[in-house]
């Protein structure tokens, strides 16, 4: 049985891009959030290298509470460890210019081709209203 490769890939996180390296079986999570003007808001992203399936599972979850009650949105994605740079490199115009009047372009390196596995949405107020 040959050794599984490390998984190396880029993600867009908050205001920039971050290079992730995961060893087989490893999990990495990012979290930010806290109190807001109307209650609380949280966001978490989890990357897990599933060694047996040779995939990266990516879960994104946002949750919190506002004037309408609690809410949660969760999405799960998967990508093969062998296709972690499938989406091409690109430059995105930020709609701003530098001191010379030139457009500022944001570099987005090649990223995984994530395939959606599942998604879930809960809105306490909408549920109570029968939606």
Of 3-7, 36-40, 96-100, the range with the lowest mean pLDDT is: 96-100
Q: What is the pLDDT, as a whole number, of residue 30? A: 93
Using CA atoms, how far residue 20 sits from 24, 43, 47, 117, 127, in Å, is 13, 18, 9, 21, 37
3 pLDDT band (50/70/90 cuts)? confident
Give yes or no for a contact between 127 and 71, defined as CB atoms under 8 angstroms apart: no
pLDDT in tens, 24-83: 999 999 999 999 888 999 999 999 999 999 999 999 999 999 888 899 999 999 999 988
* Beta carbons within 10 angstroms of residue 14's beta carbon: 9
């Amino acid at each position: 049985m040959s050794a599984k490769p490390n998984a190396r890939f880029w993600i867009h996180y908050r205001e920039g891009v971050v290079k992730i390296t995961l060893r087989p079986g490893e999990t990495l999570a990012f979290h930010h959030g806290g109190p807001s003007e109307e209650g609380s808001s949280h966001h978490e992203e989890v990357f897990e290298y599933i060694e047996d399936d040779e995939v990266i599972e990516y879960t994104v979850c946002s949750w919190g509470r506002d004037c309408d009650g609690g809410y949660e949105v969760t999405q799960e994605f998967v990508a093969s460890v062998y296709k972690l740079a499938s989406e091409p490199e690109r430059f995105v115009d930020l709609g701003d210019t530098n001191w010379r009047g030139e457009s500022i372009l944001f570099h987005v390196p090649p990223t995984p081709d994530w395939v959606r596995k599942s998604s879930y949405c809960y809105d306490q107020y909408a549920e109570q209203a029968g939606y």
